[in-house]
Amino acid sequence: MAVLVDNEPGVLARVIGLFSGRGYNIDSLTVAEVDRAAHLSRITIVTSGTEQVIEQIKALLGKQVPVRKMADLTVEGDVVERELALAKVMGDRARLIDALRVADFMGARLIDRTIDTLVFEVTGTSEDIDSFLRLLEPVEVTRAGVVAMARGTRTLNVDA
């Protein structure tokens, strides 16, 4: 679900409160200002539930949050989706060489190295990142969450 909201204090807290207050889970949440002049932020929420639950979430968001535009990307057609992760691997030379091979195979980028550690950046779908992490077996991971937008001419712009 992609939501364009007024960028004002408390909006994110209201979104999270809406989910937690009703026992809905947020699988992924990303938010960033996308239009400084118009004071707009875009929130991408990955959640699950029945069609009825998703409709209830959309209705509640519209009532409790200053929403400018909203799209349920799962039902509106083709979507471009990406997630970013950083993964740290520690070990001896052989372990690090194996990690470099996995990273090369999976299209990850080496962004930091020390004598006994490597840090990789990987982008892709959540499934791509899950696969990379299973193969890599890192000692530390951080994930930025899913960002997504509709393919083609459909936009979430207020003016569109």
Structural domains in the chain, sorted by start:
2-71 (3.30.70.260), 79-149 (3.30.70.1150)
* Percent of all residues in the chain with a pLDDT value above 90, rounded to a whole number: 81
Dihedral sign, CA of 38, 47, 148, 124? positive
User: What is the arithmetic mean of pLDDT over 7-25?
Assistant: 93
38: left (phi over 0), alpha (psi -120 to 50) or beta: alpha
pLDDT in tens, 96-150: 999 999 999 999 999 999 999 999 999 999 999 999 999 999 899 999 999 999 8
User: What is the arithmetic mean of pLDDT over 19-34?
Assistant: 93
Structure tokens at 54: 């998703």
pTM over 0.85: no
DSSP state at residue 65: S
